Chain A
């Protein structure tokens, strides 16, 4: 009887435990689902993959290539993102790039090229993958293949200066001067738009200037009182520029007859303060960093100003070595007329941030 009592007691305990655990599980699960904890856990699991790849990046940055390679190889097997549509596709790309870098540093040619070819095949539209492969191929002494990869970069990103530089050098060394000129002129003509910030007094505007070395008129509606005097600041976003002219347009008032037209300002008299850029020639400014900026004090005319017109040219980055090569190619190809035309559109200098490497705010949705 006592034993039966005990059994019943145990059974009740089990029932209570089961009911309690079931209620806790179902209740907890429901709370987790309805309260969003389950979603956060899923998101966190996805993010943890990115963190693991970042740790590998850290190892590579520290030069611990063997350790990084081992971890990357493990991750390569485990990482779910196997198509470019997957949310971890960028992690997969980074992983393969790091793997290629490790193998390159460790001198494993075949493994390095295999990793980088996988990287290119994973998403052929990423120019950086082709660029990394081109670099590796050059490193391992395959210049023709490297040139093909450089050409692939330029198909996607025709403004990429290092690839242009490498390809022009490659063709010049092979005495294919016409091909070298073609590569150079394609770069010169490739569409590139510079977001240049113009600040006048308290007003700031971003104006888009096509970077092709040709003058472009930019018209900015604004309101300035008569005789206004203040700072004109132009942030070039890393592009070398030439300021050809500045003109003011007189404002109109309702019911008043006032003749008006754009009136040129004396730009030559402006004294410029230069940040991350240098002045070359009367109105030429060569940028050295993405933060390049010129600031000068300008004076508006003695009337209301309703608009400003700036005539400006923006130039693509060109290294002195590249320009020397290009000049030499034009010389060898006896294309001196084309050389002069190109020269008018070139300012030697500039930086990679001016077109080759774009800031993330321009490249992310």
Chain B
């Protein structure tokens, strides 16, 4: 009544309007405050923002609030599986870290990360090079674990909020293309029990990354002048103009390591632009690898983001001097729409002046996109990752603008499929050329071809006007002097590929490139027509006519004929008494032959470096000798470098007094150094008394056979295998200053050797090596065999006598996060003070060898054991058995679902560090894997397990449509193998079933392997 009579009163009006006005003020002031806050950082991301955007974002978030709250309530981190990280941080410390006048970028907070039910202590800090990583409610983080307790085998883990789904896809694609790229996973991150964000977890690029990628530790150069905290004011901003803006995230710290110099030289050559400099550039890179990198950049539509200013990581392999790119921060974009302001970086602009590189890129793309495999696998990966973290991802989609939101799998796969289709079409349709054919003699024709598209062409055949094939010779004007010279060769049509010229600017654009040919027909024809094919797809191409007399423009790019490799020089033969006073270099394609009985004397520091083959075939009666020219002053090295040196043979060669060398920036650590060559044989040789360098024989990334050699008085290690394979057999190694045989990250066979009186270990097996060590006789060393750093050797029937420690199991390098895990079968240790010394975290699996059939253990190595022990035993070779299926269990951030399935009385099954742990309750239970597996000739099933001895278990390989075969599962506190000979047949799955009489028993499954005969 009152209101009706007098209208609204002030209190009522205020009551009704103040909340509305307050809400509006909160929205408006908050939006401006948000804008002010993010604009503290003046970078590419914040310049796109506006207060109006924040206002819309707040309104949108308010509208989505009910859905977000519902999703938030639905989470239960305690039930989350692998791929989910629960960060536990002191809330006040977290607020201090992310708020305040400016975030504390360098500050590290102690935190606990719970992953798959296991807690890890870490320190976390903010990371990222632009405000997108720290300017919103979700921050990119770096987790750093202590050295003695790594987080899932890693010291540092990066969690990035920037476009997690798209970058997960692009980085996994880079790995599909065989590029060096950190392992990448999509993870759901919780903060103090509440959903925080869907993030991309990846490794940092450092020495650990190299070791995980099975690369030799060396320099990793990082180029990043984009990050505002790394200004290089007053200097050229382009990383490919300024070598001093680079730093190193992994450092080759050995004496006389070249540091930044190789990169500076490379960048210098990049800026010279002439053909000689271009050749030097190519010498330092793997062209196929660069082609694969460019291919993946085109598939992901992002040739721009790894640019002149940032995201550059290059690994320099110290054993080859080659630079390898590491993929970092590759985005996913529509390849048809260039990034605004984007520009192909200077390195690509220079390298793309070589038309062969782009031709190789297109060939790679054609091969990868020939069918749907690449896209199907990518789709499966992304869909599975999204499904595993769907709820957190959905919550991220409700976030307030401008927090970066994850794209849905359909959206990212849509971009990828569109890119793939566009590239396929362009490769198919953009082989364009203009051609002019002129008669210049009775049977001679001048053919001018100009490529005008992305894709080159090749000559498919010669035709007469009636379409009949014309026989004749195709002769290129190789020296491009316009005329046919007598030394210009005749080429088959298959060799006539003419790569197209391109120019990198904002996009990669075609540049017309001229090729001149002379055709000499066998018979006179009135008119000559030439059939062309697409150089990549091989499909016929119709070309345009080119008007005679038109001026032919010179291209900016190099001409492939100017860049062709010169023919290798003539082979070199050495015989008699030879005195080398300077390095002898053998080029790729060239062969060095050294005759039996040759006496080589090398001046101090003089080396033989072969990129081609060495065939040094002495005889027992007339060995080849290599000695210092000046007594007491070491010569350098005999180096076999690269694939060109594959197939080299050193037989009956006596080498003494070498000292290693640094040549072309490559450190050769052995008196004989075999780097990246395969099928090398070193037979019946004597290597002794090397000086200065560590090793008498050093092999890196090689495959070689060392047999019946006598290696004595080595300066440090007699034989050092790093990342190499092959066999060391029947050798005699004595009085080495350090180890007789030193193995790192490799799996050779070491059989029937006699190792005596070495300064440290008889055999040192480290850094994730997995060799077979069989029938060796090792005496009088400090340690007989040492197994370190997650190495998994099989030590079978070795005789170890007179050592302080017979077999040691230890950890040396923290990066491998654990000691070794040898298999011991029938070894005999005599006279040792400590027969077996094992780190508490080490794992030793014993196998009864006496009278046992060890073919399951030796078969994969292609060996058959005879009788006896030590070097006098007999053995034979056979084709190795093949691995049909296997499971090893490393805890990782990979999301579920697990490949195994648990049923019955199982409380929990989880992958832990190097084993699968099943917590069992009273009753029956089973853990199963699905096949199918086909074993037409039968094979072996091997299961390695440990646990409570009260567990009774059975291993069953389930036959397709039948019951299969079974064996009892041996469960002891220490690991044991259970083996099962598998009859021929098809198998549907594997079941490991257990029976427990009480609760809280634990079964640890270390691995299982199903192998079949070849």
Instruction: Give me the interface of A with B, judged by CB distance under 8 Å.
Output: 8, 11-12, 14-15, 18-19, 22, 25-26, 29-30, 32-34, 36, 38-39, 42-43, 45-46, 80, 82-90, 93, 123, 125-128, 155-158, 190-191, 193, 207-208, 210, 212, 216-219, 221-223, 249-261, 304, 306-307, 357-358, 362-365
Residue contact B554 to A157, C-beta cutoff 8 Å:
no
Given the interface contacts A29-B25, A156-B244, A157-B244, does A256 sit within 8 Å of B549 by beta carbon?
yes
Nearest chain A residue, comparing its CB with the CB of B267: A191
Q: Distance in Å from the Cβ of A190 to the closest Cβ of chain B?
A: 8
B35 engages A127 (CB within 8 Å): no
List residues of B (236-272) whose CB comes within 8 Å of A's CBs. Answer: 236-237, 241-244, 264, 267-268, 271-272
- Knowing A249-B554, A252-B552, A363-B236, the reply to whether A257 touches B10 (Cβ < 8 A) is no
B236's nearest neighbour on chain A, judged by CB, is: A362
**Contact between A257 and B440 (Cβ–Cβ < 8 Å)?**
yes
Bound together, the chains give a CA A156 to CA B232 distance in angstroms of 8
CB-defined interface of B516-530 with A at 8 Å, one 1/0 digit per residue?
100000000000000
Contact of A208 among B25, B271, B551, B554 (CB under 8 A): B271
Q: How far is the CA of A157 from the CA of B233 in the complex (A)?
A: 10
The digit string for B13-57, where 1 denotes a CB below 8 A from any CB of A, is: 110010001001100110110011001111000000011100100
Query: How far apart sit A223 and B547, CA to CA, in the bound complex (Å)?
Result: 19
Q: Beyond A30-B28, A128-B233, is A254–B9 a contact (Cβ under 8 Å)?
A: no
Interface residues of B in 542-596 (CB under 8 A from A): 546-556
CA distance A157 to B935 in the complex (A): 65
Task: Given A29-B24, A80-B101, A365-B237, verify A19-B231 contact (CB < 8 Å).
Answer: no
Q: How far is the CA of A306 from the CA of B512 in the complex (A)?
A: 14
* A33, A42, A93, A223 interface centre (most CB from chain B within 10 Å): A33
Interface size class of B (residues with CB under 8 A): 35 or more
List chain B residues, Cβ under 8 A from A221: 553-556
Q: A22-B17, A87-B41, A363-B233 are in contact. Are A193 and B271 (CB under 8 A)?
A: yes
Question: CA of A12 to CA of B718 in the docked complex: distance in angstroms?
Answer: 102
Extra pairs beyond A33-B28, A34-B52 (17, CB < 8 Å): A15-B9, A18-B17, A33-B52, A33-B55, A42-B36, A80-B101, A80-B102, A84-B230, A156-B235, A157-B235, A191-B242, A249-B554, A251-B552, A253-B549, A255-B446, A362-B237, A362-B241
The reply to whether A363 and B24 form a contact with Cβ atoms under 8 Å apart is no
Interface membership of B99, Cβ < 8 A? no
| A residues less than 8 Å from B267 (CB atoms) | 191
The answer to whether A83 touches B229 (Cβ under 8 A) is yes
Is B40's CB under 8 angstroms from A80's CB? yes
Check if B554 sits within 8 Å of A306, measured CB to CB: yes
Q: How far does the alpha carbon of A85 sit from the alpha carbon of B134 in the complex, in Å?
A: 11
Complexed CA–CA distance, A223 and B554 (Å): 9
Least Cβ–Cβ distance between A134 and chain B, in angstroms:
15
CA distance A216 to B31 in the complex (A): 57
Name the contact of B231 in the complex, choosing from A25, A126, A191, A256 (C-beta under 8 A).
Answer: A126
Is B6 engaged at the interface, CB distance under 8 Å to the other chain? yes
Q: What's the minimum C-beta distance from A97 to chain B, rounded to whole angstroms?
A: 11
Given contacts A33-B28, A34-B52, A191-B268, contact A363 B549 (CB under 8 A): no
B342 at the interface (CB under 8 A from A): no
Chain A residues within an 8 Å CB radius of B232: 125-127, 156
Of the candidates A36, A90, A306, A365, which one forms a contact with B309 in the assembled complex, judged by CB atoms under 8 Å apart?
A: A365
Determine the chain A residues whose CB is within 8 A of the CB of B234 once the complex forms. Answer: 126-128, 157, 357-358, 363
Task: Determine if A33 and B101 form an interchain contact, defined as CB atoms under 8 angstroms apart.
Answer: no
Q: Compute how far the CA of A193 lies from the CA of B269 in the bound complex, rounded to whole angstroms.
A: 11
Q: Is B421 an interface residue (CB 8 A)?
A: no
Please indicate which of the listed interface residues B228, B436, B549 has the most CB atoms of chain A within 10 Å of its own CB: B228
Chain B residues in 8 Å Cβ range of A304: 551
Chain A to chain B contacts (Cβ below 8 Å), 14 pairs: A15-B10, A36-B50, A42-B32, A80-B102, A82-B101, A85-B41, A90-B233, A93-B233, A123-B229, A219-B273, A221-B553, A254-B548, A257-B482, A261-B481
Q: Judging by beta carbons under 8 Å apart, are A87 and B17 in contact?
A: no
CA A253 to CA B13, docked complex, whole Å: 89
Q: Which residues of B contact A11 (CB under 8 A)?
A: 9-10
Residue of A nearest to B554 (CB): A221
User: Are B482 and A259 in contact, CB atoms less than 8 angstroms apart?
Assistant: yes
Contact with A along B750-774 (1 / 0, CB 8 A): 0000000000000000000000000
Given contacts A26-B28, A86-B102, A254-B448, contact A33 B51 (CB under 8 A): yes
- CB-contact partner of B237 in A8, A90, A212, A363, under 8 A: A363
Interface centre among A38, A261, A363 (most CB of B within 10 A): A38
Q: How far is the CB of A112 from the nearest CB of chain B, in Å?
A: 21
Contact: A191 with B52, CB < 8 Å?
no
Question: Contact mask B306-332 → A, CB, 8 Å, 1/0?
Answer: 000100000000000000000000000
**In the assembled complex, how far is the CB of residue B423 from the closest CB belonging to chain A, in whole angstroms?**
29
- With known contacts A25-B21, A85-B41, A254–B552 Cβ distance under 8 A: yes
The answer to whether B274 has its CB under 8 Å from any CB of chain A is yes
Q: Is the CB of A251 within 8 A of B551?
A: yes
Roughly how many angstroms separate A38 CA and B55 CA in the complex, as a whole number?
A: 12
A residues in contact with B551, CB < 8 Å: 223, 251-253, 304, 306
Instruction: Give the residues in chain B near A45, CB-CB below 8 Å.
Output: 36
A93 contacts across to B, CB distance below 8 A: 233
Q: Specify the chain A residue showing the minimal Cβ separation from B547.
A: A254
- What residues on A are CB-neighbors of B41 within 8 Å? 85-87
B689 CB-CB contact with A under 8 Å: no
CA distance A30 to B59 in the complex (A): 13
Q: Which residue of A is nearest B447, CB measured?
A: A255
CB neighbours (8 Å) of A207 from chain B are 273
Given A19-B13, A26-B24, A306-B554: A89 touches B228 (CB 8 Å cut-off):
yes
Say whether B105 contacts A85, CB under 8 Å. yes
User: Which of B28, B440, B550 sits near A29, CB closer than 8 Å?
Assistant: B28
Nearest CB to that of A208 among chain B residues?
Answer: B271
Contact assessment for A125 and B231 in the assembled complex, using a CB-CB cutoff below 8 Å? yes
